[in-house]
Amino acid sequence: SQQGEEDPQALSIQEGENATMNCSYKTSINNLQWYRQNSGRGLVHLILIRSNEREKHSGRLRVTLDTSKKSSSLLITASRAADTASYFCATLGSSNTGKLIFGQGTTLQVKP
């Protein structure tokens, strides 16, 4: 079963606006990762945040993690049409068995 629940399921914004996606999970984690998927094919790793971190930045991406609420958010600033894709969160359990559990994803459309 999937651990991560993401919202919204779909998001449509204009180029230049910010996009925020949220992810909630159920069990304790080692880390939480965000991936992007274009055209229903392979996923690309975007950013990882460890359970003892609260915020992390990478270029136009900002990820926050609240372990007390078991939730994370991904913010994409100054969005571009090329950011149009599906975004998935994935959690690595605290026992670090190596298995990632993926959420259902948020589909982002950035209109030029």
Partner 1 sequence: GAGVSQSPSNKVTEKGKDVELRCDPISGHTALYWYRQRLGQGLEFLIYFQGNSAPDKSGLPSDRFSAERTGESVSTLTIQRTQQEDSAVYLCASSLLSSSYNEQFFGPGTRLTVL
Distance CA 85, CA 37 (A): 6
C-alpha pair distances (Å), 86 with each of 3, 102, 112: 17, 12, 17
Distance CA 36, CA 13 (A): 17
**Shortest Å, Cβ 2 to partner 1:** 6
Q: Which of 33, 72, 79, 84 binds partner 1 (CB under 8 A)?
A: 33
CB-count exposure of residue 111 (10 Å: 0-12, 13-18, 19+): exposed
Q: Which of 31, 72, 79, 84 binds partner 1 (CB under 8 A)?
A: 31
Distance CA 55, CA 36 (A): 19
Site string for partner 1, 81-110 (x = CB under 8 A): -------x-x-x---xxxxxxxxxx-----
**Shortest Å, Cβ 79 to partner 1:** 22
CB nearer to partner 1: give 33 or 72.
33
CB nearer to partner 1: give 19 or 89.
89
Q: Which residues bind partner 1 (CB under 8 A)?
A: 2, 4, 30-31, 33, 35, 40-45, 48, 50, 88, 90, 92, 96-105
